[in-house]
Amino acid sequence: MRSKEKISYFYDGDVGSVYFGPNHPMKPHRLCMTHHLVLSYELHKKMEIYRPHKAYPAELAQFHSADYVEFLHRITPDTQHLFPNELAKYNLGEDCPVFENLFEFCQIYAGGTIDAARRLNNGICDIAINWAGGLHHAKKCEASGFCYINDLVLGILELLKYHARVLYIDIDVHHGDGVEEAFYFTDRVMTVSFHKYGDLFFPGTGDVKEIGEKEGKFYAINVPLKDGIDDASFNRLFKTIIAKVVETYLPGVIVLQCGADSLAGDRLGCFNLSIDGAYLPVIEELLCVCVLFGKIVTLLPFILFILCASHAECVRFVKKFNLPLLVTGGGGYTKENVARCWTVETGVLLDTDLPNEIPENDYSKYFAPENTLKIPSGYIENLNTKSYISTIKMQVLENLRCIQHAPSVQMQEVPPDFYIPDFDEDEQNPDERVDQHTQDKQIQRDDEYYEGDNDNDHTMDDV
């Protein structure tokens, strides 16, 4: 057991100021809301805060095709009409629109995950957090599902320089298809995705039968779920499978994608998960019923399980393995709940319980009138029967039994971190405007906690 985890947290306010367009469900502004909620609970005082570097095109091309990266670099809203064939080729359009500062947005969120991986590799921290990352749908040569650059794949490639085996866990409501596809033929990365599957739900992949191929056979694990899964069912399945995965695979490091669209009430989701345990009024009502019928002792274990079963409990459970851990965001389209969720999970990673009443902050109006962290579980009918869950669990565990032992790899000399050129101050043109990010190259800043993040979406009604 480590005495005290050292945690690095990556944030750049610019990543939350981009705008996907009217009526688009992706709201990067949720990242500003999350950050200010983290500040309001004073969690920043327990972490090292860093502004990530902007990933260079050559860094992005460690996974993505060079022509795709180059096109993202030069396309703008004003010029996109000139490239209809390229837009179709790279799947840019309605779901993945071209917007102002698109490439910089990609550079920042990818840079955060790459930086997080490098700090873990060098033992500078035990846990690294990049809530802006987790865009798991992007493919090698195309955008997909609101994702342009797959920062998770880039981060895992960094981790593979130092670790023989990397475990990737995904609790987004959508299948982590881009990450799975990238490592489908290798045993050096095991991907485990818990997601909604069926009914033409995006992206349409993630059947339990998709298990990897060639050297990667049995190293892709999919846990397909139906509408309405609740805290208790999800956590019981998650803990059983992840415990067996870690025991069998023996990873050197874990990457955890915490997509918040698996929460109850998400605009694009269909699960019933709470953020961190059952909603207090529900527990009070249950206790009253138990007392009324004299069942308090009999049902106490069940009540305690319900109290701790949640989205955040997955984070808590993974943290207990005491392995180097890279945590990212992902989906999440009810932005006030996304901010609540990732703030609670920042607290979990810091072993800090947070008061349910949200402190005053720049975005307090978004959390009104409740002004509380916890949200009620959902009321969508749970179509995941005990029989269905048992069948899925047995299939997954059977596939794990096909892995005789943790795969080994002949480690070579560790390749260096990608070369990042320094700027020579003597060569800078004093009349040329230097952008904010260049000024912030010394990433740990005294004025990191600033006001004024723009909510360029606050005047628009969510649809």
Check whether 455 is labelled as a binding-site residue.
no
Check whether 172 is labelled as a binding-site residue.
yes
**pLDDT value at residue 306:** 46
**pLDDT value at residue 4:** 76
Q: Which of 191-195, 233-237, 274-278 is predicted least confidently?
A: 274-278
Q: Which of 232-241, 268-277, 406-415 is predicted least confidently?
A: 406-415
pLDDT digits over 401-449, tens only? Answer: 999 778 877 666 666 675 444 444 444 454 554 455 554 444 443 434 4
Residue 252: Cβ within 10 Å count = 17
**pLDDT value at residue 454:** 42
**pLDDT value at residue 284:** 53
Q: Is the pLDDT confidence value at 294 over 80?
A: no
Q: Is the pLDDT confidence value at 152 over 90?
A: yes
Contact (CB, 8 A) for 114 and 155: yes
Strands of 48-50's sheet in order across: 48-50, 7-10, 127-130, 325-328, 253-257, 166-170, 189-196, 220-225
Check whether 145 is labelled as a binding-site residue.
yes
447 versus 334: the higher-pLDDT residue is: 334
Q: Which amino acid is at 396?
A: V
Check whether 12 is labelled as a binding-site residue.
no
Q: Is the pLDDT confidence value at 10 over 90?
A: yes
Q: Is the pLDDT confidence value at 231 over 70?
A: yes
**pLDDT value at residue 463:** 39
Contact (CB, 8 A) for 60 and 110: yes
Q: What is the C-alpha end-to-end distance of the chain, expressed in Å?
A: 47
Catalytic residue flag (residue 137): yes
**pLDDT value at residue 448:** 40
Q: What mean pLDDT comes out for the span 391-407? A: 93
Question: Shortest CA distance to 286 belongs to which of 313, 312, 264, 304?
Answer: 304
pLDDT digits over 26-78, tens only? Answer: 999 999 999 999 999 999 999 999 999 999 999 999 999 999 999 999 999 99
**pLDDT value at residue 5:** 86
pLDDT digits over 111-124, tens only? Answer: 999 999 999 999 99
| 26 Cβ neighbours under 8 A, 6+ residues apart | 20, 146, 333
Check whether 431 is labelled as a binding-site residue.
no
348 versus 282: the higher-pLDDT residue is: 348
Model pTM score: 0.87
Average pLDDT, the chain: 88
pLDDT digits over 340-371, tens only? Answer: 999 999 999 999 999 999 999 999 999 999 89
Contact (CB, 8 A) for 52 and 12: yes
CA distance 179 to 138: 8
Q: Which of 280-289, 398-407, 454-463 is predicted least confidently?
A: 454-463
Question: Which of the residues 36, 136, 137, 437 is marked catalytic?
Answer: 137
pLDDT digits over 176-230, tens only? Answer: 999 999 999 999 999 999 999 999 999 999 999 999 999 999 999 999 999 999 9
Integer angstrom CA distances of residue 24 from 19, 74, 78, 93, 94: 9, 23, 19, 12, 9
Q: Is the pLDDT confidence value at 1 over 50?
A: no
**pLDDT value at residue 208:** 98
- The maximal CA–CA distance of the chain, rounded, in angstroms, is 80
Check whether 276 is labelled as a binding-site residue.
no
**pLDDT value at residue 299:** 52
